[in-house]
Structure 1
């Protein structure tokens, strides 16, 4: 998935977040802020060029059971993850 390829979205409750277009020094703050802005039942579809394993650990530590993480695509250079916000 190149940076000009749109992130597939099939529901109005899914909000795309393409991290590839965010400066690296701002990425984690932007991701945390975006997730904090979502309501229960909404999903952020995250796209990145690498698997963000340290970020996933940080998100789980911060949000705990309030988010569910599901990989949509885990191909090299094409990482797409759904972050589901739970009640």
Structure 2
């Protein structure tokens, strides 16, 4: 099994399904605020998006780049949180 990465692009198709979400979360944790990753998958990543929303509300943007039927691509951008050194701007600095 070979994991193919291209800078900020991760091709998940070669991984076992049980390995995909942990890899994505580890990758997102390693990103700085405003940095992004593009994921390539062989099925609709909606369950991943819902898991991200549940575990990291308001910490990322999700932009569908391609929606099947054989390949799905999504770009995820990590946003700042109030625990970070910069305000994310969503509250006007409160």
Higher helix share: 1
Same fold by TM-score greater than 0.5: yes
CA distance in 2, matches of 1:85, 1:35: 7
> What residue ranges of structure 1 are gaps of 5+ in the alignment?
1-5
| RMSD of aligned alpha carbons | 1.9
Give TM-score scaled by structure 1 length: 0.79
Give TM-score scaled by structure 2 length: 0.73
> What residue ranges of structure 2 are gaps of 5+ in the alignment?
81-94
| Candidates 17, 28, 31, aligned match of 1:24 | 17
In the alignment of these two chains, the number of paired residues is 77
Counterparts of 1:7-86 in structure 2, within 5 Å, are 15-86=8-79
Q: Whose Rg is larger? A: 2
Asked whether the 8 Å contact 2:8–2:38 carries over to 1, the reply is yes
